[in-house]
Amino acid sequence: MSVVAGSLTQGLLQVAWALLLCGPVLVASVAVTVFVVRRRFLAPASSSPEASDQVFWDLFLGSCVALPALLIPTLVSPWAGLLLAGAAAASGISAYRGSPRLLAWHAARRDHRQQLSAHQAARMQHDELMLRWRRYELDPGCSIDYPELTDVRLPETSALIKAMRTADQLRTATHKGYPDAVGTLAASLAAAERAAGIPAGLQAKQAG
């Protein structure tokens, strides 16, 4: 009786060790493989021949890890293999269903970082443009030589003032339209400078 109990205990220990050692590897490899392949198919260029080759190698590498993690416990105990197969199937289904949400979250984070970077660059350009504009407004020499830059009756100057107001309104928040508004401001200032007859060399000096 004790021999049977000892054999049963030893068998249970072997199953437990097989599950503990191979289970996490199997579940992780299946989930990662399914996620990577799902990401390949959801990518815009998923129909290209290169994408098909990448999917093949993703499946191949995933199988190289998952199959031994499943077969070794199965040789120890069929029940352990059955449990691990169920766990692998569950992890694969979860990864398949959750991958679109996870990819969308990553894309949203990437877009947010890009938006912040573009906003910071636009703020720096905005400050440079306003400094350039204030030279025409506050410098007595520039005000006398080029009064058109402050004459809102001129279409180019009027458009410049409107562009300045729009950029100022969008600057306070991380607005998607702020970089475009700063770009419009830069173009409007250059157009107003040309309309005022400011030489190109002086424009470049003011921009610097």
Encode pLDDT of 66-112 as tens digits: 888 888 878 877 877 888 888 889 988 898 888 888 888 888 888 88
Task: Label residue 7 by pLDDT band (50, 70, 90).
Answer: low
Q: Where are the domains of the chain?
A: 2-111, 139-207
Per-residue pLDDT band at 150 (split at 50, 70, 90): confident
CA 189, chain centre distance (Å): 33
With a threshold of 0.95, does the pTM exceed it? no
The pLDDT, as a whole number, for residue 4 is 44
